[in-house]
Structure 1
Amino acid sequence: MVKSPLVNRIILAVSAIVLTSIVSMSATLAISKSIEGSATAINAAGALRMGANQMLTRLSVLPTRPDASQNAKLFNAYENQLSGRAITSLIPAGSEHPLTQQHRLIIKLWKTNLLPMMEAHPQGSQITAQMIAEVNRFTEEVNKLVLLLEERTEARIDLLHLIQITSLVFSVLIVIALFLDLKNRVLRPLRKLVRVASAVGDQDFTQQANLKGSDELAQLGQAFDQMTSELALTYQELEDRAREKTEELEVSHTALQVMHATSRNLFANHDLCSGSIPMLQELEKLLRIGPIKLYLHDKETDEPVEAVTTASQKRPFYCRDHHCNACLVTPEAFDDLPAQDNDGRRLLLPIRIPGQILGTLEVWYPAGKNLPATTRRLLETLTDQLATAIFLEKQITEEQQQTLVEERTVIARELHDSLAQSLSYLKMQVTRLRRLNITGEHKAAHDDILHEFSTGLNSAYRQLRELLATFRLKLDTPDLATALNKTIDEFSERLGKRVEFEYTLPPQTLSPNEEIHSLQIVREGLANAVKHANATEISVHITFESPEVRAFIRDNGKGLPDDNQPINHYGLIIMADRARTLGGDLKVQNRATGGVEVSLTFIPKSRSLIPSQTSYA
């Protein structure tokens, strides 16, 4: 954690005082420990002098009970005292130290001179002058050792006094410096700050602390100075904020009016693109956002399907009115719009009704601008309106499809109960005429007329059956793609080999009526390839090249005779009628590689032709 300058100075001063105390106490403890036992060592060394003289006196006295080993014990005790812990504990380990050298000299004199003379001297005989001289010499060396021990102890004590005095002086200096620093950096700035605070309390914003530095009080003084400067601008800022809020409310009010006015058109014409693009573009101008895209969710596709966009370089595939250029923009203008690669941010809003998500609204806006809360609420209101419109459009489409199926069912039932019964009756009458035995010159003419009548009646009956199949045909599957997949599976089983299938139509491209006719044409083409062409390979390709839908059924069968349609092949005639109903073109022709190709091309009635390849608003 980073400390502030003022705290750092206080911590530094306190740390210096604490460190000085610790150093002083540590040095005192170390020196006290080092001189511990000095008095004992001095006393022990002094006792050596007395011990030497005592042994010399003892040798000159005649013992009452002679005992040679008693002197030996006395000599060993003296030698142990000479090398005892009381003295050696203060002798340094280094061989060059004077104490070490003096102690070794004393031991050497004892072992080499004094001890041999005392051991050789007879007990009770007179002490020689040489022994006295050696004892005196030994005593002088012991005195030197005692003097060295005393000097060493006094030096340690003097050092201890010096450390204590130095620590005291250093502590006093630190306290004085800390007091002066607090006076200059704390007390004086506090007086200025109190003066400025009193002035602010009196609504006088001209006072300034003018504190320099980087510590807390300097920063506080700078904050006071900044506060007094900003307080003068407070009322102006409040007015600016009030004006901004007023502008936001006006924008929100205008946006709500736009959505309210456009919602009528959106629900009236049941066209999501033409009904929503003007509103979305107006909202983009008001809210300064965009482009906006609308995606619909289809349970039969994994990816969302684009349904509306407010800015595009080329005409979208779902465009229904190819004379409309509302969403087309120039490449230069498109490159300036916010995008993932152009400093843009994206907001995704779900379009939902209770229990179901219908789509997603994708809103782009500049990355350096945050969307206000009012803008988000307006966009959420927009998603509610779009959800209602999409749900109603789906309901209307389903109702139209159901109505169409019911009408076709009624027509099929009426045809079956009226015209089909009449044709069946006529077929029975023709059968009766065939059984009549007519002879004479009119037999040939009678047979020709009867044959033509029978052929025409069979043709009419077959066409009626095709009409009944058409009227009764309905999509039991959710979409054309699923229905075609089931058809492909059916004819693959009949062929004994998989039928190649390609389908690239976007969802909701065709109306229910167009889906039924397209499905029936594909079924008829597959039936012809399986029943009449004796094909072993069949392929079906249904593609979308805006605005056209193209369907191809190809086989490798025996082909058409002389590149013409077979005589009385009413299936092909009905396929052509269906193509004309779709407003398209049907071609049935032999392929260069063998077999037949059935091609269907038409533009859905909800789309119009593109007048030119490229056009911009």
Structure 2
Amino acid sequence: MKSRSPLVNRIAIVVCAVVLTSIVSMTTTLAVSKSIEGNATAINLAGALRMGAFRLLSHVASPGVSNNGGNNIRNLASQYELSLKDNNITRAIPLTEDHPLATQYRYITAYWQQTLRPALQNHAQGEPISLDMLAATEHYAGSVNQLVSMLEQRTEARIDLLHLIQIISMVFSILIIIALFVDLRDRVLKPLRKLVNIATAVGEQDFSRKANLKGSDELAQLGSAFDQMSSELALTYYELEERVRNKTEELEKSHSALQLLHAASRNLFANHDLCSGAVPMLQELEQLLGIGPIRLYLHDKESTEPVQVVTTSSTERPFYCRDHHCHACLVTPEVYDELPTEEHDGRRLLLPIRTPGNLLGTLEVWYPADKGLSDTARRLLETLSDQLATAIFLERQITEEQQLTLAEERTVIARELHDSLAQSLSYLKMQVARLRRLNIDGEQKNAHEAILDELSTGLNSAYRQLRELLATFRLKLDTPDLVTALRKTIEEFSGRLGKPVKLEFNLPPQTLSPNEEIHTLQIVREGLANAVKHADATEIFVEVVFESPQVKVKIRDNGKGLPEGGQPLNHYGLIIIQDRARTLGGQVAVQNHDQGGVEVGLTFVPKSRHLIPTETSGT
């Protein structure tokens, strides 16, 4: 069974003390009053015994009493003895034999029976009272008087005891009441006042006040509960304030990030440049969300692994960088070492860059392991990945449409060239052949032959270039990218040379626009055609490489080289190569190689604004 609480125990103790004091006071008062009950009657009767003794003495000394006085004295003595042994007197005498009052009463009774009564009964009626009898009577009266005094003293002592008991009870009651008030003040009123103040302060969002109540009673426990509640409320309030502050900051960050994403979305779709459009936006997003670095990987059919196209932090200029005046992604090694990575207590989040049914790439986001990544930041990054997917998909779609449109246009041009210019050239060649069959004699024969030779050479060169153009157009129509077209071109000229033509290709995918790919392919074909037809070469080497920010193309053979004039007579291929190089905004150099043969070198910076990944495809 559960014991009562300390406060209830104290109240019960106080109540019990008051009740017990009252009971003790009433009991002792009742007992004392009971003990002195009849003492007044006993005192009156005892006082009457003195006068009765002198009456008997006067009676026996009185001469006017009849002869029957002996009987009268006996009767009076018997009546007097009855008064001496009256119950009112005996009840006032203690039952304890050794009590002074009982001893005095026994002495008086014995003195009456043994001395005074016999003397009175034996005294002759009417005779003068002897001195001895008078002395005996006075002695008896003095003993009775002493008994009365003792009864009075005993009664007064009992009354004093009753007064003392009343005073003690009153003092004890007052002390209990004072203790009760002090206890109520110290352990009830003050704690309650503290608790009310704490409750008021909590209502005013002041959690600093504490009750600090000592003890184990209910109010102390309630004070401890209030203190704990106040501490927990303060912690909860501060946690809620912190959460509200964090949520506010997160919402502000989200708002800023959404504005940033909106602006970045317009930039991505406006300038069609993922690097210049995404890197500044990603860096601002890193500062807002406290994350980074961020890297973007895209999937390419010419690479077995995803290739990196964008990074926000790099200690060295990326391989795919085409603008060497830009330092957007370059940071110092000290800054890079502080970024969260696997080596620097970081965690990685991978988000797919996808469109329905097509995985385009992956967005890699690093963030501090101790801070984590909030749900809001994750949703923002997911939104960013969706925007990047849309931008990349649209850019690729635009590129494919441009390639398809260009291919269709070149197909139309090829058909028109074949149906018009090719037939016209064929007709002119036939006319030159007819002129050769004419017999022209005289001094103009040599001049006519020279003119015919020049016409034949020009027509053959124009016809060959037309065939190269037609072949290039048809080749590009059937191939999706530059590397595939180059490989087919290498296979074609390897067959024409009779030996394999070597190819080194490390141009990143989608480096060039469709127009730049066409010009690059035609320059390579023109260089191969010259090497196969004019150089008498046994080995030909083609190199197409990317040395950021330039694309370098080399066609080198081990043939007889260029004549001293620098260009063969009646040969317009090098002029066409130079025109195409100027179209690309680059430079071309045609010169003899130190080890023999000719080297055609083309250098230009791509002007297209497309995705350029870091890794290259195989040759």
> 1:496: Cα distance to partner?
5.3
Moved more, 249-258 or 372-381: 249-258
Aligned twin of 1:504: 506
Given the alignment of the two structures, is residue 313 of structure 1 paired with residue 309 of structure 2, yes or no?
no
- Compare 286-295 and 480-489 and name the one that shifted more: 480-489
Q: CA deviation at 1:349?
A: 1.1
Alignment of 1:578-593 (within 5 A): 578-593=580-595
Q: Matched residues in 2 for 1:350 and 1:272: separation?
A: 17
Instruction: Tell me the alpha carbon deviations over residues 262-305 of structure 1, each in whole angstroms, 9 at most, x when there is no partner.
Output: 21221122111222223212211211112211111112202222
Contact 1:585 1:600 survives alignment (8 Å): yes
Q: Which residue of 1 aligns with 2:429?
A: 427
Alignment match, 1:409: 411
Distance 2:427 2:443 in 1: 29
CA deviation vs aligned residue, 1:487-541 (integer Å, no higher than 9, x gap):
3344445555544332221121111222222223333433444444444433332
SS state of the match for residue 300, structure 1?
coil
Contact 1:295 1:359 (C-alpha < 8 Å) held by counterparts: yes
Give structure 1 stretches of 5+ with no counterpart: 1-194, 212-220, 609-617
Q: Which moved more, 1:581-590 or 1:298-307?
A: 581-590
Per-residue CA deviations over 1:559-613 (Å, capped at 9, x if unaligned) read 34448333233444433333333232333333333333332222222389xxxxx
Which of 565, 574, 577 is the aligned partner of 2:576? 574
Cα separation, partners in 2 of 1:497 and 1:486, compared to 1, 3 Å? same
Query: Which among 585, 590, 607 is matched to residue 605 of structure 1?
Result: 607
- Provide the secondary structure at the position in 2 that maps to 1:433: helix
Please point out which of 237, 242, 260 is paired with 2:239. Answer: 237
**C-alpha distance in 2, partners of 1:327/1:503?**
27
Pick from 380, 391, 394 the counterpart of residue 392 of structure 1.
Answer: 394
The one of 347, 350, 358 aligned to 1:348: 350
Decide which moves more: 280-289 or 488-497. 488-497
Partner of 1:247: 249
Q: Which residue of 2 aligns with 1:335?
A: 337
The 1:460/1:556 distance shift into structure 2, 3 A limit, reads closer
Equivalent in the alignment of 2:281: 279
CA-CA distance at 1:332 after TM superposition: 3.7
Question: In structure 2, what is the Cα distance between the partners aligned to 1:459 and 1:538?
Answer: 22
The offset of 1:358, in angstroms, is: 0.7
For 1:348 and 1:360, how far apart are their aligned partners in 2?
6
Counterpart AA for 1:355: G
Equivalent residues in 2 for 1:521-536, closer than 5 Å: 521-536=523-538
Matched, 1:539 2:541: yes
2:408 alignment partner AA: E
Whole-angstrom distance in 2 between the partners of 1:541 and 1:446: 44
Residues 6-155 of structure 1: matches in 2 within 5 Å?
A: none
- Aligned partner of residue 588 in structure 2, secondary structure: strand
Give the letter for the 2:292 counterpart.
G
Q: How has the CA–CA distance of structure 1 residues 450 and 596 changed in structure 2, closer, same or farther, with 3 Å as cutoff? A: closer
Q: Distance in 1 between matches of 2:490 and 2:425?
A: 34
Larger radius of gyration: 2
Shift of 1:458: 3.8
Q: State the one-letter code of the partner of 1:522.
A: V
Aligned to 2:303: 301
Between 375-384 and 324-333, the greater mean CA deviation after superposition: 324-333
Query: Counterparts of 2:459 and 2:543 in 1: how far apart (Å)?
Result: 36
**Aligned partners of 1:476, 1:227: CA distance in 2, in Å?**
79
Say if 1:502 and 1:366 are closer, same or farther in 2 by CA, change over 3 A: same
Give distance in 2, aligned partners of 1:552 and 1:232: 76
SS at match of 1:341: helix
Letter in 1 for 2:409: E
Give 1:381's aligned residue. Answer: 383
Structure 1 Cα separation of the partners of residues 466 and 522 of structure 2: 15
Q: Percent identity?
A: 76
Instruction: Supply the distance in 2 between the matched residues of 1:269 and 1:534 (Cα, whole angstroms).
Output: 48
How far has the Cα of 1:240 moved from its partner? 2.9
**Matched-pair contact (CA < 8 Å) for 1:320–1:606:** no
Structure 1 residues 507 and 448, CA, compared in 2 at 3 Å: closer, same or farther?
A: closer
**Alignment check: 8 A CA contact 1:291 1:338 kept:** yes
Q: Tell me the secondary structure at the aligned position of residue 347 of structure 2.
A: strand
Moved more, 248-257 or 579-588: 579-588
Contact 2:588 2:602 in 1 (8 A): yes
Q: Deviations over 1:417-438 (max 9, x none)?
A: 3333333333333333333334
Q: Per the alignment, in what secondary structure is the counterpart of residue 510 of structure 1?
A: coil
Q: CA deviation at 1:381?
A: 0.9
Structure 2 distance, partners of 1:498, 1:432, is: 40
Q: Distance in 1 between matches of 2:588 and 2:532?
A: 19
Higher relative contact order (CA 8 A, sep 6+): 2
CA contact (8 A) 2:461 2:571 kept: no
CA contact (8 A) 2:322 2:605 kept: no
| Contact 1:586-1:599 at 8 Å conserved across structures | yes
Deviations 1:383-403 (A, max 9, x none): 011111110000000011111
Partner Cα distance (1:300, 1:450) in 2: 50
Equivalent position to 2:270, from 268, 271, 279:
268
Amino acid at match of 1:515: E
Give the 3 Å change call, closer, same or farther, for CA 483–209 of structure 1 in structure 2. Answer: farther
Of residues 538, 559, 562, the one that matches 2:561 is: 559
| SS of residue paired to 1:398 | helix
Aligned to 1:256: 258
Shift of 1:451: 4.1
Distance 1:232 1:433 in 2: 111
The answer as to whether partners of 1:463 and 1:570 remain within 8 angstroms in 2 is no
Distance 2:445 2:597 in 1: 43
SS at match of 1:559: coil
1:315 is paired with a residue whose SS is coil
Residues 444 and 513 of structure 1, relative CA distance in 2, 3 Å threshold: same
Asked whether the 8 Å contact 2:505–2:543 carries over to 1, the reply is yes
Residues 297 and 231 of structure 1: is their aligned pair in 2 closer, same or farther, counting only changes over 3 Å? same
* CA gap 1:435/1:250 in 2 versus in 1, 3 angstroms: same
Give distance in 2, aligned partners of 1:477 and 1:442.
Answer: 52
Give 1:371 deviation, angstroms: 0.6
Query: Aligned equivalents of 1:423 and 1:535: distance in 2?
Result: 29
Letter in 1 for 2:396: K
Q: Separation in 2 of the partners of 1:363 and 1:322?
A: 25
Equivalent residue runs for 1:158-237 within 5 Å: 229-237=231-239
- CA deviation string 1:330-376 (max 9, x = no partner): 44433333333333322211111111111111112223211111111
Which stretches in structure 2 are left out of the alignment for 5+ residues? Answer: 1-190, 203-208, 216-222, 611-619
User: How high is the TM-score relative to the length of structure 2?
Assistant: 0.58
Code of the residue aligned with 2:312 in structure 1: it is T
Partners of 1:210 and 1:563 in 2: CA distance: 113
Instruction: Calculate the aligned-residue CA RMSD, in Å.
Output: 3.6
1:223–1:584 distance in 2 versus 1, CA, 3 Å: farther
- For this pair of structures, how many residues does the alignment match? 403
Q: Distance in 2 between matches of 1:237 and 1:583?
A: 63
